[in-house]
Structure 1
Amino acid sequence: MAVEIGEELMFGEEGSEQMYEVVYTCEINEKNYLMAALSEELDDEDKEPEIIAFSYTEDEEGTLFFDEIENDEEWKQVEAKFNSYIEELEKEA
């Protein structure tokens, strides 16, 4: 089960989790990444949503494990792919 754009996931500390919607996924160097925004912010046309990003892995049972992106070079690669994706979306609009 790969993470799909539009999928909703819970992130946050236990007791203060919030619902996020996946807005982008990609693979770089055989590693999977996702970018997500708070679902409620995506519904608000007057507010630009804050984007969070994680790398993720999946075990044999389909359980997802998320890791923060801590390497600057890794972050730059993910951000560049996301920005290219956004530019393509804007061209189509």
Structure 2
Amino acid sequence: MAVEIGEELLFGDEGSEEKYEVIYTCELNDKHYLLAALSEELNREETEPEIIGFTYTEDEEGTLFYDEIDENEWPEVEAKFNSYLEELEQEE
């Protein structure tokens, strides 16, 4: 799939989109997921960035389509993300 960590994406209603940076991607149960945070919030040390999550698919032309993560899927995606964060902390 085409989405990578660090990639910037626009989310929101047309005309009021906001720039988000992909902070995590994974595949679970044959679905692709991404977590992203507002780019401007990632650079602020005093606040935790709000994280949004989506599943995504790609058509034959490479166009990406996003859907909200189902509330039943969140616990598994969150657990993988937390494991990823722990691995990053151990590397430091």
Give the TM-score taking structure 2 as reference length.
Answer: 0.95
Identical-residue share of aligned pairs (%): 74
Aligned length: 92
- Distance in 2 of aligned mates of 1:71 and 1:61: 30
What are the within-5 Å matches in structure 2 for residues 1-93 of structure 1? 1-72=1-72, 74-93=73-92
Unaligned runs of 5+ in 1: none
Deviation at 1:92, TM superposition (A): 1.1
Task: Judging by fraction of residues, say which structure has more helix.
Answer: 1
Give the TM-score taking structure 1 as reference length.
Answer: 0.94
- Distance in 2 of aligned mates of 1:28 and 1:70: 13
- Distance in 2 of aligned mates of 1:71 and 1:36: 17
Deviation at 1:64, TM superposition (A): 0.4
Deviation at 1:70, TM superposition (A): 2.0
- Deviations 1:60-84 (CA, angstroms, capped at 9, x unpaired): 1110000001232x11110100000
- Letter in structure 2 aligned against 1:22: V
- The CA RMSD measured in Å over matched residues stands at 0.9
Unaligned runs of 5+ in 2: none
